Amino acid sequence: MIFCRRLRNKWQELLHDEQLKRRIYVIIFESDTPMGKLFDVALIGFIVLSILVVIAESIKSWDSVIGPYLRMSEYIFTFFFTLEYVLRLYCSPKPRRYALSFFGIVDLLSTLPFYIGWIFGTARYLLVIRTFRLIRVFRVFKLFDFLNEGHLLLRSLVYSSRKIIVFFLFVLIMVISIGTLMYMIEGQCEDSAFNNIPNSIYWAIVTMTTVGYGDITPETPLGRFLSAVVMLLGYTIIAVPTGIVSASMIQEQKRRSSQKCPHCGRSEHEEGASFCKYCGGRLESGDK
């Protein structure tokens, strides 16, 4: 009984040991210390490995040879990622905020499918649940967290998002109209691949984006003429998103280079510069 109480006390202590929490927080959440850096690199390695395991599991011909090893590494990875998730919750100053953040949810989703498959482990539903386990691939999104350069790209896209949305709406209208027209032209013949409007719209998207699988192709002269028009249209309007993004990137670059040095007040710094080239003062970097 005394032992039990002691254990509980120890546990209570551990749960509220602010110094330990802080030390773990520095290792797990930050990457400035050598330990933190090591942890991050090891985590990336683990994530990549676990993704490779998921991919390898899907190859049926490998299953008889290395299947058991893959399943075992499965257990190990899930154990580590669960531990990591619990530690993150434990050491985070605001656990709820972390749990509801994008990466909190991704961290949870990357371990959960394994347990669901383990508890409701009847033979029949196992296969369906295994597909859920594949969501662990999204763990890979964590990789993105470690890079700051991505922000410029994201900002350029966000900056021009309104124009891109309008563009997509326009494409949607085009694609629905063209798909319906092609259904009217090609769909009357029997055995035509344009057998309903959704398939015709699918064809219109395949054609307009210049993907061109060739699983659905026009057979009638009129259908071929219309699809030629659609291709040339797609070929031209591919210029629109490119133009939007190019223009916003050049804008972004100009803003960066016209940024004034807080020390000497001069501008026109090179893109990517962190220090003023005139006085050596640190620039207020836009994307950090």
Q: Shortest distance, CB of residue 16 to its own copies, whole angstroms?
A: 38
Q: Shortest distance, CB of residue 277 to its own copies, whole angstroms?
A: 13
Pick 79 or 141: Cβ nearer its own copies: 141
Q: Shortest distance, CB of residue 97 to its own copies, whole angstroms?
A: 24
Applying CB under 8 A, does 49 fall inside the site for its own copies?
no
Query: What single string gives the DSSP state of each residue in the chain?
Result: -HHHHHHHHHHHHHHH-HHHHHHHHHHHH--SSHHHHHHHHHHHHHHHHHHHHHHHHT-GGGHHHHHHHHHHHHHHHHHHHHHHHHHHHHH-SSHHHHHHSHHHHHHHHTTHHHHHHHHT--HHHHHHHHHHHGGGGGGGHHHHHT-STHHHHHHHHHHTHHHHHHHHHHHHHHHHHHHHHHHHHHTTSTT-S--SHHHHHHHHHHHHTT---SSS---SHHHHHHHHHHHHHHHHHTHHHHHHHHHHHHHHHHHHHTPPPTTT----PPTT--B-TTT-PBP--TT-
Q: Which residues contact 278 (CB under 8 A, 6 or more apart)?
A: 261, 264, 266
Kindly identify the residues of this chain, within the stretch 163-182, that bind its own copies according to CB under 8 A: 163-171, 173, 176-177, 180
**Span interacting with its own copies, options 10-18, 67-75, 214-222, 276-284, rule CB under 8 A:** 214-222
Nearest to 88 by CA among 105, 72, 75, 71: 105
**Span interacting with its own copies, options 37-45, 74-82, 107-115, 144-152, rule CB under 8 A:** 144-152
Pick 51 or 276: Cβ nearer its own copies: 51
**Span interacting with its own copies, options 36-44, 66-74, 81-89, 198-206, rule CB under 8 A:** 198-206
| Binding residue (CB under 8 A) for its own copies from 232, 277, 285, 286 | 232
- Token pair belonging to 171: 């494409």
Q: Shortest distance, CB of residue 34 to its own copies, whole angstroms?
A: 24
Site string for its own copies, 263-282 (x = CB under 8 A): --------xx----------
Kindly identify the residues of this chain, within the stretch 7-26, that bind its own copies according to CB under 8 A: none
Pick 73 or 87: Cβ nearer its own copies: 73
Pick 9 or 148: Cβ nearer its own copies: 148
Kindly identify the residues of this chain, within the stretch 76-135, that bind its own copies according to CB under 8 A: 131, 134-135
| Binding residue (CB under 8 A) for its own copies from 98, 192, 234, 269 | 234
Applying CB under 8 A, does 140 fall inside the site for its own copies?
yes
